[in-house]
Amino acid sequence: MTGIVVKNSVAALRKSKNVTQEDMAKAVGVTRQTIIAIEKGNYTPSVSLALQLAKYFNTSVESIFKF
């Protein structure tokens, strides 16, 4: 059985805001390694973290994460 692949636009959104991974990580309360893993698609964030990211980018969760 294969898992569901969740694609995201976190890296593109972060770069468009000209923010470092470290600064973004601090703003949403996670480590830089977590941001790296999300951007690479190696980690799917919890609903809580996804909501924090959406708030940080002032957009919806659905616009960041796609199935």
Q: In the chain, how many domains are there?
A: 1
**Within a domain: residue 2?**
no
Q: What CATH number is associated with residue 49?
A: 1.10.260.40
**Within a domain: residue 23?**
yes
**Within a domain: residue 14?**
yes
| Terminal C-alpha separation, the chain | 16
pLDDT in tens, 8-49: 999 999 999 999 999 999 999 999 999 999 999 999 999 999
Record the pTM.
Answer: 0.90
Q: What is the 3-state secondary structure (H, E, C) of the chain?
A: CCCCCCEECHHHHHHHCCCCHHHHHHHHCCCHHHHHHHHHCCCCCCHHHHHHHHHHHCCCHHHHEEC
**Within a domain: residue 32?**
yes
**Within a domain: residue 61?**
yes
Give 3's pLDDT tier (boundaries 50, 70, 90).
confident
Range of the domain at 15: 10-66
**Within a domain: residue 25?**
yes
